[in-house]
Amino acid sequence: MKVLVTVKEVAEAADDFEISGIEIEEGYLEYDLNEWDDYAIEEAVQLSEQRDDVETVGVTIGPERSEETIRMALAKGIDRAVRVWDDAIERQDLLDVDAKARLLEAVVEAEDPDLVLSGVQANDDSFGATGVALARQLGFQWAAVVNRMELSDDDTIANVRRELEGGVEELTEIDMPAVLTIQTGINEPRYASLRGIRQAQSKEIDVQSLDDLGLGEEAVEGELDLTSMYEPVSESDAEIFEGDPDETAGKLAAVLQEKGVGAQ
């Protein structure tokens, strides 16, 4: 069977940063593999280790810089990688959910996987919607916020556990092919080994343009425009203790003792 994993390189803002227009200034951003996707990669790699008929393919939508991230997926054991990029994508300041789903749909049609794994959300734009939209676009089944998955022996059913709010989990069976969006905590993502990293450097990444995918520019024209970005106004009225650690700890201890904390 074939498992496709969607991987996103996300930008993380430093503790202190500046905004210029509708972007955080580049110097304050660090790029990394999206945390949720790391768990999706691990789930796919574990599946390929448990069985000998599994091929895993990572797909990312991103500029050349993001090859570093998709190579991380290769270093962790994903077999092949596809990167989708195009000038028309670059021109979008916010690629909307349906545009992402259309791009990924074209890759899924070319690859024909039995299972697509995707992180629940991306930590930069936090839409949390691409996986389910992709499933609908493909006519696949799906499950969102999955923290356990087991496939039936004949690969026709995925038994999943969905993490609901308040410590309740839902057990559901899903017909395959399916898209599952993976929650953190489902497994323990591995670190890439030095050998894995070296091998990943020499692997070819299959770069696909809109044209290659048989799509026109209209495929990425969305209906959402980012119009402003600002730092939220802090509503804090916290009393902040100042001083060296022994002073601040002393002041806090006095407050806590006043509230009866630590009194046996």
Cα gap 39→50, rounded to integer Å: 16
Would you count residue 101 as binding other proteins (CB under 8 A)? yes
181: CB partners within 8 A, 6+ apart: 36, 117, 118, 119, 120, 121, 128, 131, 132, 142, 143, 144, 145, 146
Of the two residues 48 and 159, which places its CB atom closer to other proteins in the complex? 159
Of the two residues 94 and 209, which places its CB atom closer to other proteins in the complex? 94
Among positions 8-27, residues that touch other proteins (CB under 8 A) are 11-13, 15-17, 19, 22, 24
Residue pair 8/119 in contact by the 8 Å Cβ criterion:
yes
Selected range binding other proteins among 51-59, 80-88, 97-105, 195-203, rule: CB under 8 A: 97-105
Among positions 39-78, residues that touch other proteins (CB under 8 A) are none
Smallest gap, in angstroms, from Cβ of residue 175 to other proteins?
Answer: 4
Smallest gap, in angstroms, from Cβ of residue 264 to other proteins?
Answer: 7
Selected range binding other proteins among 49-57, 62-70, 211-219, 231-239, rule: CB under 8 A: 231-239
148: CB partners within 8 A, 6+ apart: 160, 161, 186
List beta partners, residue 29: 13
Q: Dig out the tokens for 1 from the structure.
A: 């069977």
Would you count residue 117 as binding other proteins (CB under 8 A)? no
Selected range binding other proteins among 47-55, 57-65, 79-87, 122-130, rule: CB under 8 A: 122-130
Would you count residue 188 as binding other proteins (CB under 8 A)? yes
Binding footprint of other proteins, residue count (CB under 8 A): 85
Pick the closest to residue 102 from 66, 138, 73, 147 (CA basis): 138
- Applying CB under 8 A, which of residues 72, 115, 135, 192 lies at the interface with other proteins? 135
The torsion angles phi and psi of 144, rounded to 5 degrees, stand at -105, 145
Would you count residue 112 as binding other proteins (CB under 8 A)? no
Residue pair 114/79 in contact by the 8 Å Cβ criterion:
no
